[in-house]
Chain A
């Protein structure tokens, strides 16, 4: 190893991080652990939200279906009444 390589070894020697480095990492690992511990709860909450939204969506579609059904039945009733009325009038005229 020549002088340049010796100088490089000196230039690139290990340096110490700031004195509170380890403590800052520990703090972050505690936060990390806390976040990790919260993962199941977060997943459950997200799943519950998805479930409620899906349920609400299905309920709303069912409600819309019922509404459409009722409107159609009413339209049939009105149409039936009109047909009956026409039939009565036709019968009266043919007598």
Chain B
């Protein structure tokens, strides 16, 4: 049974790792690609890769770090390969005609769509920050980029989102 597959030195169990991390891996891919079917395919590939590399995983926390890193990288690769949705600048996304942003039932869906239109790096940074609740140093390690760049992506993306939402509110007064 594949469920009994474990790394001999660490005793890590593949099935247990999959149970623990499947939502995290799937959600990273889903929020990045904004396509459930494609995200499931990417998540499967990530776990297949984990299965092949289980011997190199040293601990539970290492598995989490490894899965986040591979999931983001695979999602980026898949996004490039498919190029299903050409990237749209945040400023170019159409304004919905609803009222108070904080009471907008569609706000979260709108935020998800706005995140999905960000360029690769800021998108990955935002998803790791707000889905995984990671701090900039952890995000920098996963994405192999300087902490300052991570902070810059966060600030600029948040500013763009605020501007977008403020512009919408003003347009409705």
Contact = CB atoms under 8 A, between A and B. Distances in A.
A7 B26 contact: no
A3 interface: yes
A8 B111 CA distance: 7
A7 B110 CA distance: 11
Contact of A12 (B18, B19, B44, B131): B131
Contacts of B108: 7, 10-11
Interface string A45-66: 0000000000000000000000
Interface stretch (A20-28, A77-85, A86-94): A20-28
Interface in B7-26: 14-15, 18-19, 22-24, 26
Given A4-B158, A8-B130, A15 B23 contact: yes
Given A12-B111, A21-B44, 14 more contacts: A11-B112, A11-B115, A12-B112, A12-B115, A12-B130, A14-B24, A14-B27, A17-B23, A17-B43, A26-B15, A29-B47, A29-B48, A29-B51, A32-B48
